[in-house]
Amino acid sequence: MRSIESLSHTRWECKYHIVFIPKYRKKAIFGQIRKELGEVFRRLARQKESEIEEGHLMPDHVHMMISILPKYAVSQVIGFTKGKSAVHIARMYGGRKRNDVGQNFWARGYFASTVGRDEQVIRDYIRHQEAEDRRIDQMSLVVVAPLGGSRSRLRLRNRPLRAVHN
């Protein structure tokens, strides 16, 4: 777990928790794309001398813990990874011409957080994210109750209850 990397005059441990989404948060990461994308991300990270240590592809977002050399900016590595993977997806699954640049797959931006002493917590979070999302979805419920003659919907989903009137 705790591996301090080194170059001739540098010692470092630069790990980041990264999350990014497909454009419009469409549930676009599924089937064959999902099976192949993990290896594509790992190959692209190696091209920037980085290593994806943990990762999980959800239908509507990507979680990864990546170790990046200090000579590279996080934005440089993630921008490269998102850009080249979008081109790969467009060429393999887009059914378009060979020179497709894949501009329309990933949304702009990403979430990045440094990984320090909480490395194991973040690894567990990434590993169990899909199961946690399913558990929360199962907790979602719809309650129909008369309130002054109208129907009211209550929905649980990681936020306080609120009534929505039809």
- Residues 6 or more apart from 84 whose CB is under 8 A from it? 40, 44
pLDDT surpassing 60 at residue 164: no
Q: What is the pTM of this model?
A: 0.72
Q: Looking at residue 42, what is its pLDDT?
A: 96
pLDDT surpassing 90 at residue 148: no
Task: Give me 7's structure tokens.
Answer: 């170059």
pLDDT surpassing 60 at residue 22: yes
Buried b (16+ CB within 10 A) or exposed e, 84-107: bbbbbbbbeeeeeeeebebeebbe
Please state, in angstroms and as integers, the Cα–Cα distance from residue 128 to each residue in 53, 100, 101, 118, following that order. Answer: 15, 35, 33, 16
Task: Give me 128's structure tokens.
Answer: 């169990």
Q: Rounded mean pLDDT of 18-37?
A: 86
* Radius of gyration of the CA atoms of the chain, in A: 20
Place of tokens 């990546």: 66
pLDDT surpassing 90 at residue 145: no
Buried b (16+ CB within 10 A) or exposed e, 111-148: eeeebeeebeebbebbeebeeeeeeeeeeeeeeeeeee
pLDDT tens track for 28-49? 778 788 888 999 999 999 999 9
Strand partners, 37: none
Q: Looking at residue 97, what is its pLDDT?
A: 57
Q: Looking at residue 76, what is its pLDDT?
A: 96
The count of other CB atoms within 10 Å of the CB of residue 46 is 11
Q: What is the mean pLDDT of the chain?
A: 80
- List of domains in the chain: 5-138 (3.30.70.1290)
d(CA 162, CA 115): 35
d(CA 80, CA 82): 6
* More confidently predicted of 99 and 111: 111
Catalytic residue ranges:
125
Q: Rounded mean pLDDT of 17-27?
A: 89
